[in-house]
Chains A and B, each alone.
Chain A
């Protein structure tokens, strides 16, 4: 009797996980849009590659903030470490191959994530917010003090990277940069997706929803948070490395508060805890910022701020939350 119960429970668990892991047709949409953008806006690809880089950065934040519920204002630390890893390798050691550079950046940022996570993840809420913020400032100041190595706020200029895969060189119109960023984003998305639909991913959601209960069923909460934080840091590092590759330049402003805060705003706009929220949030934020800044170079931030206020007041779950709610209503399944 007990045995059949267990089998039934296990089967239900598998069904639950499988339902979450199932690919939905709507998931193709962002990628179709991204590929279409390449052909529709051939003269906007440099900007496009920046959007893709920020989408990846927002995705990394979504893993910790959206899924594991770790509130951080210091994710720029890992973005910056990634950027400086490839920047310093290229400028000081002549290591200019981009793909191995990405791996090196992921390793360094992931290592930094694990190291800082051991300490930081013992805290939550406001304390954690301030601690992550200070960590980023410390890194920035560190870079300023050792400016002979890092180039300080003037940065590492004129970085030149080898062509991607030894074939595709960076062009003025940003064609290579765009496709390269898109490919890396896609691979990272697949990885992030695999993580969040796995039992490990569900346990992160469990920790976010009710930490005490996860403790009481014997889940290794700290360990899991640490793994999530490390993976997220590594992905942020890849985003930072891409940023360096596509800009051929790194400066200490990658550690700016604006960078940490900007990516948070993107994620909130798109919708936290929903993989593709990172993608749409980055697209909407960046396009809005870009067009507002052209419309009014001095006051564009007011427009972005207004949108954020509206989102927080009326669409707490972000753009994707709105879309989901609309979908439910269309299917007639309640509000």
Chain B
């Protein structure tokens, strides 16, 4: 079956070659959680990849792109998956990676095989140091949590703040990054509360009661987007933190675009910092959201993960075009991506040539009730061209000599 189809491809290829224009079919490995508890994240990125390929297939003619999708959900070992994508499926690039441990596990493989890995989510800060072939288009928690520290102390009037986080790496990173920025700006941390693990949504009431007793000005939160964030916002309203004047602040994960409409009045007035919201007012985003809505309907808007996946695929197209489909030299591809910039739905983004990590604007965004009665976001302020602060400040593992 496989042989037959590759023969057909070969014949087709011959036809094209005889016609004069030599088109290559570039295979790209997509590693995302398609099953299990994180399938939701995978879907937000998978839709973005597919949509980009569909909209822009003509841009790289006569070359073609073929996505080879693999599950990084439960039971899969990322190392095996990526190894086989490279050795069997002959992919020239791998992209996706929702979960940091998968990217970390696969890092030695892409180094050994010299195949670029374009990360569209996995946010542990030091991942980019694990291999010279890793380029990240998403973020680290330090991108958004560290500037929020100084912003909340200077602009939002948060003199004291309690921090709550889900007890796993992104949560711990967000808490530490926020605290570092916040204390430097003169803020006082009232309490730091680990709030359960990512596998189950906890009852947030006791944690929020503890916050209420501490009476801080603000409550900074990281929880995984989805069921956790919905549960947190609900409890935030019920416990009466909002009524008590404790302002909810946090990362964009707390108010994911595709869950926002279900959150109700409790979330109005919350202020988060992040690089993307579906409501952002720039031409690239308007076009992106319009395409997305046409393809997937208005009830399932794109979110920050979709935007990062969109940019990663755009970068892949850029590379294919620039190198005329010849992607065999992975080092050359990475070289080309260093300093790469584009007008993204997130505004202007670029890849830091030093760290191969994304540089992007971080926006303080307030959740408001829009004129049409729907919940939306309003940009209050922008921190421009933020690099991964973990590597800039050389915190912990980020300070160790990487590649």
Contacts and interface: CB of A to CB of B under 8 A. Distances in A.
A307 to B, nearest CB: 14
A124 interface: no
Contact of B87 (A153, A173, A258): A173
A172 B113 contact: yes
Interface stretch (B19-27, B77-85, B328-336): B77-85
A154 B169 contact: yes
A293 interface: yes
A111 interface: no
B101 A154 contact: yes
Q: Kindly name the residue among A154, A155, A262, A300 whose own CB sees the greatest number of chain B CB atoms within 10 A.
A: A154
A158 B103 CA distance: 11
A245 to B, nearest CB: 12
A46 B88 CA distance: 11
B83 A154 contact: no
A158 B101 contact: no
A248 B169 CA distance: 20
Contact of B71 (A256, A258, A300): A300
Q: Kindly name the residue among A147, A247, A262 whose own CB sees the greatest number of chain B CB atoms within 10 A.
A: A247
Contacts of A251: 101, 104-105
B84 A46 contact: yes
B40 to A, nearest CB: 11
15 contacts: A43-B87, A43-B88, A46-B80, A50-B77, A154-B100, A154-B101, A154-B104, A158-B130, A172-B86, A248-B108, A253-B101, A258-B75, A293-B35, A297-B35, A299-B35
B80 A152 contact: no
Question: Nearest 6 pairs between A and B by C-beta?
Answer: A297-B34, A297-B71, A298-B34, A249-B105, A157-B104, A46-B83
Q: Kindly name the residue among A262, A289, A298 whose own CB sees the greatest number of chain B CB atoms within 10 A.
A: A298
Contacts of A294: 70
B240 interface: no
B39 interface: yes
B167 A44 contact: no
A253 B99 CA distance: 12
Nearest to B32: A297
B115 to A, nearest CB: 10
Nearest to B74: A258
A158 B132 CA distance: 13
A47 interface: yes
B79 A249 contact: yes
B169 A152 contact: yes
Interface residues of A, number: 33
A311 interface: no
A247 B172 CA distance: 26
Contacts of A100: none
Contacts of A174: 83
Nearest to A160: B108
A172 B84 CA distance: 10
Given A144-B197, A157-B130, A293 B76 contact: yes
Contacts of B34: 293, 297-298
Contacts of A248: 79, 108
Contacts of A127: none
B168 interface: yes
B242 interface: no
Contacts of B75: 258, 262, 289, 293
B112 interface: yes
Interface in B39-56: 39
B101 A44 contact: no
B109 interface: yes
Contacts of A44: 84, 88
Contacts of A301: 35
Interface residues of B, number: 34
B378 interface: no
Contacts of B87: 43, 46, 172-173
A46 B79 contact: yes
Contacts of A46: 79-80, 83-84, 87
Given A172-B113, A173-B87, A247-B77, A158 B107 contact: yes
Contacts of A50: 77, 80
B124 interface: yes
B319 to A, nearest CB: 23
A280 B122 CA distance: 35
A152 B108 CA distance: 19
Contacts of A172: 83, 86-87, 109, 112-113
Contacts of A153: 100-101, 168-169
B69 interface: yes
A298 B83 CA distance: 20
A70 B71 CA distance: 33
Contacts of B130: 157-158
Contact of B172 (A152, A298, A300): A152
B79 A256 contact: no
A303 to B, nearest CB: 11
Given A47-B84, A158-B108, 11 more contacts: A141-B197, A153-B100, A158-B104, A173-B87, A247-B105, A249-B108, A251-B101, A251-B104, A297-B35, A297-B69, A298-B34
Interface in A160-182: 172-174
Contacts of B167: 144
A289 B100 CA distance: 23
Contacts of A47: 80, 84
A253 B75 CA distance: 10
A297 B70 contact: yes
B382 to A, nearest CB: 30
A299 B73 CA distance: 11
B225 to A, nearest CB: 17
Contacts of A298: 34-35, 39, 71
Nearest to B87: A43
A297 B76 CA distance: 11
A46 B82 CA distance: 10
A128 to B, nearest CB: 23
Contacts of A43: 84, 87-88
Nearest to A140: B197
A153 B113 CA distance: 25
Interface string B192-234: 0000010000000000000000000000000000000000000
